[in-house]
Structure 1
Amino acid sequence: MREALAREGPLAGRVAVVTGAARGVGEALARRLSEDGMRLALLGREAATLRRAAASLAGPALCVEADVTDQAALDRAARQVEERLGPASVVVANAGIAAAGPFRHTEADLWRRVIDVNLVGSANTARAFLPQLTRSRGYFLQIASTAAFGSAPLMSAYCASKAGAESFAQALRGEVEPVGVAVGIAYLHWTGTDMVTGIDQHPVLVALRRHQPWFARRVHSPAEVADRLAAGITHRAPYVYAPPWLRWCLPLRPLFPALVSRVARRELGERSADERAADAGVLGAGGRADWEAYVTATRAHPRPGPGSP
């Protein structure tokens, strides 16, 4: 019955592009949209993992290995998608990485990499696919986070990038709505991806979670989140909340920075500077794979220093 409904549904036969589709929410969403009858283009850094994800889909899929911080690579990916599957009707800017640790002990290149992937990568994705979305009068979904509500210490790059991605999507919406392109922003809370695998070792996140109501401490599966995102895509929703109760937090949003700071001061005051520095690093297998690929490429082709010709 579900397969029959998918073939007749509003998304059936259309093309969706999901970045960061090799694992986690991206993989789960690609699977969910495929079940709804869409043709999928999976974009990501890990070619073998992408192929495994594509093999589990219900319908046609195209795997494209691409770094979202590389505009030329994304432009090539956009051409491949249109040539192989047709113009995109849905584009989900999901690619993201996170790094934890004190700002002063985080490598400058790593801090910048988080911003580049999560914020600049979203803008690059939009730039590459907007011509197709304009022709199809499609839908662009920016994956944001409750990290944009109240920035947590030891997560400065991630929180800044997600707040920036939210702001970018809001600005983009006003520009492209007149030409028929809808822009949605999805707010995700605790989600069971490899990015939160080490959550119990992160003092501020542990404390923040402990001080939240019982229902807010629950970690949601990628499949649950994907169902919410798919529903938002179907309805071209301006905002998607996963879980749904997040929408009721919006009136309280101005209070969150002060509440987060209060919890953080107490928790960080109980830890030495050395203990805080020990927590620095990339979170999750996907983030580590991206960072290792970036470091390898940078060492092979180092950027010119000041004064270089």
Structure 2
Amino acid sequence: MTRHGRREHPGVERPLEGRVAVVTGAARGLGQGLAYALSYSGARVALVGLEDRRLARLASDLPGVAVHWPLDVTCADELAAAADAIRRTLGRPSIVVANAGVALGGPLLDCDTDAWRRVIDVNIVGSALTARCFLPDLLHTHGYYLQVASMAALAPAPLLTAYCASKAGAEAFAHALRAEISHRGVDVGVAYLNWADTAMIREAEETTVFRELRTHLPWPASAIHDPAPYIRAMIRGIERRSAHIYAPPWLRGAHAARALLPSVVAHRSRQVLADRGEAPLPPTGLLGPGGAAAGTVRAGVRNPDPYLHSGE
């Protein structure tokens, strides 16, 4: 655990001044970017994830007060201990972002069973445990819980069975939670995001499965975007306690058309995969540095920085 104090920013608007925010999966990618944005907005930030040294480095770089806890979001005991420590160190969180997530691609029959299960555990069970452990704080502060989902929750795609199931499940969980606790002053939001230029997606682009999947998507669904607009959209959503956040904005239309999307995807996929014939589509394994860290935990080895020197 580390704690850091930073310089003030006179004259800069800080709409989240004094709030305590928790971000899971904060070591890199969207989680890291969101941690910076929350800190610049005045929040005291608790960084949660597997990669201890990356989290410590990020905590030292943030402009405001920050702490970090290395843990596995699928472990209720570790989350509960972190929630208690954050409460004592920073105060009660009023913002919790369930961002931790992993992915793998490939035909269901060929995917490693344990890796497939790990995607479900991190993306659904980890999100639910995060909400449960911090819910007493959110009830006390009348706070806001943000579930990071994906376009995959709206348009399930082939070769991503675990990821699509997990993101759809996380979305449904957040909707159910909103209905359960909104009368108690806690708001719940879902962030629907398309491909963002993160380490996980860059590694995915090196695999046959993801290249095949993404290149056959129609524009704009096939585009990979700078994550900065996604982070700005999430910060606006947090400030407004939004029920839905769409980045890019066209995903709002996809949400409206979601009843049609599975049939459209299935029709298009049938054509594309039939054209490939028997050409192999080898499974990817857990993707990206975050996936590698999750894989070490799955294997029972705590080596949370497998890509520490990768420059990602």
Same fold by TM-score greater than 0.5: yes
Aligned to 1:282: 286
1:23 correspondence with 2:17: no
The 2-side partners of 1:204 and 1:102 are apart by 12
Residue identity in the other structure for 1:99 = L
Shift in Å, 1:81? 0.6
2-structure distance, mates of 1:136, 1:189: 31
Structure 1 residues 15 and 246: CA distance shift in structure 2, 3 A: same
Of 81, 90, 104, the match for 2:86: 81
Offset, 1:273 = 4.8
Contact 1:152 1:204 in 2 (8 A): no
Residue number in structure 1 paired with 2:193: 188
Q: Which residue of 1 aligns with 2:11?
A: 4
Deviation of the 1:190 alpha carbon: 1.1
**Contact kept? 1:207, 1:267, Cα under 8 Å:** no
Inter-partner Cα distance in structure 1 for 2:24 and 2:263: 33
**In structure 2, distance between residues paired with 1:99 and 1:180:** 37
Between the aligned residues of both structures, percent identity stands at 45
Match of 2:246 in 1: 241
The answer to which structure has the higher helix fraction is: 1
SS in 2 for 1:67: coil
Alignment CA distance shift 1:252-1:174 (3 Å): same
For residues 61-85 of structure 1, give each alpha carbon's deviation from its aligned partner in whole angstroms, at most 9, with x where no partner exists: 0100010000000000100110110
SS in 2 for 1:282: coil
Matched, 1:296 2:303: no
Which region of structure 1 is more displaced relative to structure 2, 119-128 or 223-232? Answer: 223-232
- 1:130 offset after TM fit, Å? 0.2
Q: Secondary structure at the match of 2:300?
A: helix
Describe how 1:137-148 pairs up with structure 2 within 5 A. Answer: 137-148=142-153
**Deviations 1:19-45 (Å, cap 9, x if unpaired)?**
000000000000000000000000000
Cα gap change, 1:207/1:47 in structure 2, threshold over 3 Å: closer, same or farther?
A: closer
- Distance 1:144-1:3 versus aligned 2 partners, 3 A rule: farther
1:246-261 mapped onto 2 (5 Å cutoff):
246-261=251-266
Work out whether residues 111 and 283 of structure 2, in 8 Å CA contact, stay in contact via their aligned partners in 1.
no
Give 2:62's aligned amino acid.
L
Rate the CA distance shift 1:132–1:2 in 2: closer, same or farther, 3 A.
same
Contact 1:200 1:206 in 2 (8 A): no
SS at match of 2:286: strand
Q: CA, structure 1 residues 185+243, in 2 after alignment: closer, same or farther (shift >3 Å)?
A: same
| Equivalent-residue separation in structure 1 for 2:209 and 2:275 (angstroms) | 10
Residue aligned with 2:148, SS: strand
- TM-score normalised to structure 1 length: 0.90
Structure 1 residues 219-263: Cα deviation after superposition (integer angstroms, max 9, x where no partner): 222222111100000000000011112112223211211121122
Q: Which residue of 2 aligns with 1:201?
A: 207
Contact 1:74–1:128 (8 Å) recurs in 2: yes
Residue 92 (1) aligns with residue 92 (2):
no
What residue is the counterpart of 1:264 in the other structure? 269
CA RMSD of aligned residues (A): 1.9
For the 8 Å contact 2:207–2:284, the answer to whether it is kept is: no
Q: Report the count of equivalent residues.
A: 294
